[in-house]
Amino acid sequence: MATLFVRVTLDGQRMHYVYLLRSVSHPDQSYVGQTADLKRRMDSHNAGRSPHTAKYRPWRLVTYLAFDTQEKALAFERYLKSGSGQTFARRRLW
């Protein structure tokens, strides 16, 4: 996996990420989440510290998108978890 950093915008604000994971051991399992620190969050998922993903670890990062505000990231995460968002993700992001 490529090295991931906490990125900031030109005005010094933290970037917020929506990420899509696929289980290595159970390829039919996927997960969509949001964070401001992608590396720390990936480490957390793969260490089993997230109850929603612990039993399907290890995870690999499939896609991530960066947003300049947490509100935008949360809205896009909610969209990806909706019916039409799942269809969009299946066609364009997985």
Q: Which run of H or of E encompasses 65?
A: strand 59-67
Dump pLDDT digits (tens) for 78-89. 999 999 999 999
The DSSP secondary structure of 44-59, one letter per residue, reads HHHTT-STTTGGG--E
When pLDDT is averaged across residues 17-31 and rounded to a whole number, the result is 98
Dump pLDDT digits (tens) for 42-70. 999 999 999 999 999 999 999 999 999 99
Q: Which residue has the tokens 């809205």?
A: 75
Select the more confidently predicted residue: 4 or 83.
Answer: 83
Signed CA dihedral, 47, 21, 64, 4: sign only: positive
Residue 15's pLDDT is 96
The two structure tokens encoding residue 61: 């990062």
Where do the domains of the chain lie? 16-87
Residue 19 has pLDDT above 50, yes or no: yes
> Model pTM?
0.87
Please, which residues have CB within 8 angstroms of residue 24's CB and are 6 or more apart in sequence?
Answer: 57, 58, 59, 60
Residue 1 has pLDDT above 50, yes or no: no
Architecture of domain 16-87: 3-Layer(aba) Sandwich (3.40)
